[in-house]
């Protein structure tokens, strides 16, 4: 029997140890996030049901009950039949009252929930350590339901994103999660709420991870978001059915590469209109922000102006999903080409008046309507010219929806997946990729969500992940000043004082024959009587016990010395065995070099 088997290479043992460690970490990760994600998903699913019911009953009581306007619904949410307002002159009154009630609820109880809601959820992740006040979810749902039910031109995604983020934040507080885990929980909450109410669990989870940044992903939140989104979607769909929100998009297959020219044109249109949408929205918001009246009344004014538009063009009221469904199905009985073009621009104005004034509602649904109508108008124009092969407007409407929001929301990947789920078709991936990429590039840094940051390196949530490694990577030699102002031990103290005054510094290395002998500070000089400063030598008052750093040390090591010894500068000597002075480094040098390198990191990303 061989009691001494052949020894394995050391690298194999290291590999086994590393794999075992990873397995332990993975087990711990899933033990923590599997139950938490399920809890968040359950809470988000029931929140989505509650919000959906609130919107339905508010619409029945206000738009339908008072104005007699029955807007069409998408196939997955009801009947596409509609009825124009019986008393259109009452629409401004309804939208005004809806705005007033919404303004009162939000500004009196949860002012941070003003407007879209998605921005507040994004801000909670980046700047508020994943914390949302417990009262926010209910007030946001109620205020948004009244806004939408009274005809406000807004969507459900912003409110449900903030509501679900708030619910996830409550879960984080109950289970005493760390700051990092609370942030992940908030992202999972956003994804589950969106995935449920739009019946798009995959796209909702991806959207939550992508929408935080202009050009990045929150990778760590993907698995919790997937689990929570699936749970929330399942709960919501058990009540409202499993069919996609929009019907009629599944039978269209991309099979003509030449049509990519027209889809590229659609991408350009969506990009340009996207810039207009963002500029108009924040232009109107800026006007309302500068208007010196109580904030609670501003949504009422926005609602009144919206209602005046709604008298003649009721298509802009509410989410507009029913009208979007009609153009997907090719039903233009209530919309001519000129009206569709008008709806594109009026919907931009209507959304700016509703949400930009401080009303409670999302900007995702209006973006889909604007993009979809742009696609419908593109199809109608090209189809009338006989230059496109598609016999139905559905592909152009669907791709327009993707391209427009992919550009203004800076979520090109998520929106393609999400709209594909919402329309029940993945067969338009190729043209949607082209159109969305073009719209994304054209819109540039124009985003409808101002709380987004460029990358993880710009987020307070990841500051230490980037700053500490960078501090460790940069060496003192890369940041130090090599041309050092010095004095000799034989120089009079007054000369040192004059040099400090001239260069506006508080300390000088004392050097003899290139070797560091000590350091003299302004405090050392001030302790001397004024009449002795002309003849007392620097060597008599300097500090010989000098804290130094070395060129190969990291900025982190140098900075820790400054903090520990409470000094603002360190002489840099050649090595621990040599006292030859080769430079000096200050806190300002460290900050300057760090900022430059951080910009390079961000630019590379």
Whole-number Å distance between alpha carbons of 556 and 553: 8
Same domain? 487 vs 589: yes
- Is the pLDDT at 11 greater than 50, yes or no? no
492: three-class secondary structure by DSSP: strand
Same-domain pairing of 115 and 192: yes
Alpha helices in 474-586 (DSSP H): 476-479, 493-503, 522-526, 538-541, 555-565
Query: Both tokens of residue 552?
Result: 């190969």
Weakest-pLDDT range from 115-119, 171-175, 365-369? 115-119
Tokens representing residue 174 in the block: 């109950």
Q: Are residues 424 and 519 in the same domain?
A: no
Radius of gyration of the chain (CA): 31
Statement: residue 226 has pLDDT above 80: yes
Average pLDDT over residues 87-112: 94
Mean pLDDT is lowest, of 18-32, 243-257, 425-439, for 18-32
Mean pLDDT, residues 238-253: 83
Give the predicted TM-score (pTM) of the model. Answer: 0.78
pLDDT band at 149 (very low <50, low <70, confident <90, very high): very high
- 308 and 359 Cβ atoms separated by less than 8 Å: no
Of residues 433 and 593, more confidence is placed in: 433
Distance CA 462, CA 605 (A): 14
> The tokens 């002159």 sit on which residue?
89
Residue 183: closest CA among 95, 232, 237, 121? 121
* 147 is a domain residue: yes
Cα→Cα distances 50→92, 167, 197, 202, 264, Å: 27, 13, 10, 22, 40
Give pLDDT, residue 391.
Answer: 82
Write out the E strands in 60-183. Answer: none
Mean pLDDT, residues 214-220 taken together: 90
| Same-domain status, 488 and 594 | yes
pLDDT, average across residues 584-589: 88
Contact 185, 40 (CB under 8 A): yes
Q: Are residues 316 and 262 in the same domain?
A: yes
438 lies in some domain: yes
**Tell me, what's the pLDDT at 347?**
98
Same domain for 473 and 442? no
Could you give phi then psi for residue 540, rounded to 5 degrees?
-80, -20
Per mean pLDDT, which range of 23-32, 75-84, 198-207, 297-306 is the poorest?
23-32
| Angle formed at CA 560 by CA 555 and CA 565, multiple of 5 degrees | 130
pLDDT of residue 388: 84
Which residues sit opposite 30 in a β-bridge? none
Name beta bridge partners: 512.
515
Domain residues for 585?
465-604
Pick from 408, 413, 401: nearest CA to 368 = 401
Give the total number of structural domains in the chain.
2
The four Cα atoms 585, 588, 589, 590 give a dihedral, to 10 degrees, of 100
Residues 426-445 have a mean pLDDT of: 93
Indicate whether 578 and 521 sit together in one domain: yes
451-504 tens-digit pLDDT:
999 888 788 887 666 666 777 888 999 999 998 999 999 999 889 888 988 888
**Residue 517 forms beta bridges with which residues?**
none
The CATH number assigned to the domain holding 546 equals 3.10.580.10
Domain ends where: 418, 448, 478? 448
Q: Is the pLDDT of residue 335 over 90?
A: yes
Contact 375, 397 (CB under 8 A): yes
Q: Is a pLDDT exceeding 80 seen at residue 603?
A: no
Q: What is the DSSP letter of 6?
A: P
- 585 phi/psi in degrees, rounded to 5: -130, 135
368 & 493 share domain: no
Query: Per the domain annotation, does 7 fall within a domain?
Result: no
Helix (H) or strand (E) holding 293: none
Q: What is the pLDDT of residue 474?
A: 86
Q: What is the pLDDT of residue 16?
A: 46
Q: In the structure, what pLDDT confidence band is assigned to residue 605 with cuts at 50, 70 and 90?
A: low
Assess whether pLDDT exceeds 60 at residue 309.
Answer: yes
Residue 21 confidence (pLDDT) = 46
For the record, the structure tokens of 110 come out as: 């949860």
Q: What distance in Å separates the CA atoms of residue 351 and residue 153, rounded to the nearest whole number? A: 5
Same domain, yes or no: 322 and 424: yes
Is residue 424 scored above 50 in pLDDT? yes
Residues 401, 518 within the same domain: no
As a whole number, mean pLDDT of residues 70-99 equals 91
Asked whether residue 526 is domain-assigned, the answer is: yes
Give me the pLDDT at residue 77, please.
87
Question: Phi and psi at residue 491, in whole multiples of 5°?
Answer: -70, 150
Q: pLDDT band for 14, please (50, 70, 90 cuts).
A: very low
Please give the angle made by the CA atoms of 264, 266 and 272, to the nearest 5 degrees: 105
- Among residues 372, 339, 371, the alpha carbon closest in space to that of 249 is found at 372
As a whole-number percent, the residues of the chain with pLDDT over 70 amount to: 92
Helix ranges (DSSP H) in 335-460: 337-355, 364-385, 394-408, 412-423, 429-443
pLDDT of residue 378: 96
Question: What pLDDT does 584 receive?
Answer: 93
> Are 393 and 494 in the same domain?
no
**Quick check: is 595 in a domain?**
yes
Q: Is the pLDDT of residue 18 over 70?
A: no
pLDDT per position as a tens digit, 353-406: 999 999 999 999 999 999 999 999 999 999 999 888 778 899 999 999 999 999
Phi/psi for 5 (5° steps) reads: -65, 165
pLDDT, position 1:
38
Distances (CA, A) of 44 to 50, 166, 324: 10, 10, 26
Q: Which two tokens stand for residue 564?
A: 């520990």
Q: Which of 448, 476, 511 is the last residue of a domain?
A: 448
Q: Are residues 434 and 322 in the same domain?
A: yes
> Which CATH number fits the domain that encloses residue 374?
1.10.3080.10
Residue 23's pLDDT is 54
Give the residue from 389, 414, 448 where a domain finishes: 448
Task: Say whether pLDDT at 299 is over 60.
Answer: yes
- In sequence order, what are the beta bridge partners of 585? 570
348 domain residue, yes or no: yes
**Residue 2 domain-assigned (yes or no):** no
User: Band of the pLDDT at 604, cuts 50, 70, 90?
Assistant: low
C-alpha distances (whole Å) from 67 to each of 91, 305, 325, 334 are 6, 16, 23, 19
**Residue 15 lies inside a defined structural domain of this protein:** no
Q: What is the mean pLDDT of the chain?
A: 89
């Amino acid at each position: 029997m061989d009691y001494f088997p052949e020894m394995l290479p050391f690298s194999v043992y290291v590999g086994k140890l590393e794999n075992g460690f990873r397995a332990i970490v993975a087990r711990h990760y899933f033990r923590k996030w599997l139950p938490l994600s399920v809890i968040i998903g359950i809470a988000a699913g029931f929140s989505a049901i509650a919000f959906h019911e609130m919107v339905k009953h508010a619409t029945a009581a206000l738009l339908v009950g008072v104005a007699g306007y029955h807007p069409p619904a998408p196939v997955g949410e009801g009947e596409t039949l509609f009825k124009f307002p019986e008393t259109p002159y009452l629409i401004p009154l309804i939208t005004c009252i809806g705005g007033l009630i919404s303004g009162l609820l939000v500004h009196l109880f949860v002012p941070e929930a003003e407007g879209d809601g998605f921005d507040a959820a994004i801000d909670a992740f980046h700047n508020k350590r994943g914390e949302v006040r417990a009262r926010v979810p209910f007030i946001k749902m109620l205020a948004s339901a009244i806004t939408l039910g009274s005809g406000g031109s807004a969507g459900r995604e912003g409110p449900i994103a903030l509501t679900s983020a708030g619910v996830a934040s409550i879960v984080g507080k109950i289970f005493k999660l760390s700051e990092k885990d609370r942030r992940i929980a908030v992202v999972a909450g956003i994804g589950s709420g969106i995935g449920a109410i739009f019946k798009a669990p995959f796209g909702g989870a991806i959207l939550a991870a992508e929408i935080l940044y202009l050009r990045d992903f929150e990778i760590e939140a993907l698995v919790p978001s997937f689990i929570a989104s699936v749970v929330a979607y399942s709960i919501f769909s058990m009540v409202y059915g499993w069919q996609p929100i929009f019907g009629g998009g599944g039978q269209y297959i991309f099979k003509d590469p030449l049509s990519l020219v027209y889809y590229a044109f659609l991408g350009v249109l969506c990009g340009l209109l996207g810039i207009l949408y963002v500029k108009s929205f924040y232009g109107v918001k800026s006007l309302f922000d500068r208007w010196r009246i109580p904030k609670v009344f501003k949504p009422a004014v926005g609602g009144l102006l919206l209602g005046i538009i709604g008298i003649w063009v009721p298509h802009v009221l509410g989410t507009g999903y029913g009208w979007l469904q009609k153009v997907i199905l090719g039903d233009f009985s209530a919309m001519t080409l000129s009206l569709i073009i008008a709806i594109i621009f009026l919907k931009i104005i209507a959304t700016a008046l509703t949400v930009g004034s401080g009303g409670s509602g999302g900007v995702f649904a209006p973006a889909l309507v604007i993009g979809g109508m742009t696609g419908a108008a593109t199809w109608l124009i090209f189809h009338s010219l006989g230059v496109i092969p598609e016999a139905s407007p559905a592909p152009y409407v669907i791709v327009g929806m993707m391209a427009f929001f992919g550009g203004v929301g800076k979520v090109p990947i998520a929106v393609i997946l999400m709209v594909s789920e919402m329309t029940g078709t993945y067969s338009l991936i190729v043209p949607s990729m082209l159109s969305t990429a073009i719209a994304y590039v054209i819109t540039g840094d124009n985003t409808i969500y101002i709380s987004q940051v460029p990358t993880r390196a710009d987020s307070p949530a990841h500051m230490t992940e980037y700053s500490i490694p960078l501090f460790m990577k940069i060496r003192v030699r890369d940041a130090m000043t090599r041309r050092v102002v010095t004095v000799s031990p034989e120089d009079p103290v007054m000369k040192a004082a004059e040099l400090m005054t001239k260069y506006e510094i508080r300390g000088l290395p004392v050097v003899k024959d290139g070797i560091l002998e000590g350091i003299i500070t302004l405090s050392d000089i001030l302790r001397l009587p004024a009449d002795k400063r002309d003849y007392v030598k620097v060597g008599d008052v300097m500090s010989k016990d000098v804290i130094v750093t070395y060129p190969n040390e990291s900025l982190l090591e140098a900075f820790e010395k400054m903090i520990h010894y409470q000094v603002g500068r360190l002489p840099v000597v050649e090595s621990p065995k040599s006292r030859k002075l080769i430079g000096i480094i200050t806190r300002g040098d460290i900050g300057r070099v760090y900022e430059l390198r951080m910009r390079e990191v961000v630019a590379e990303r």
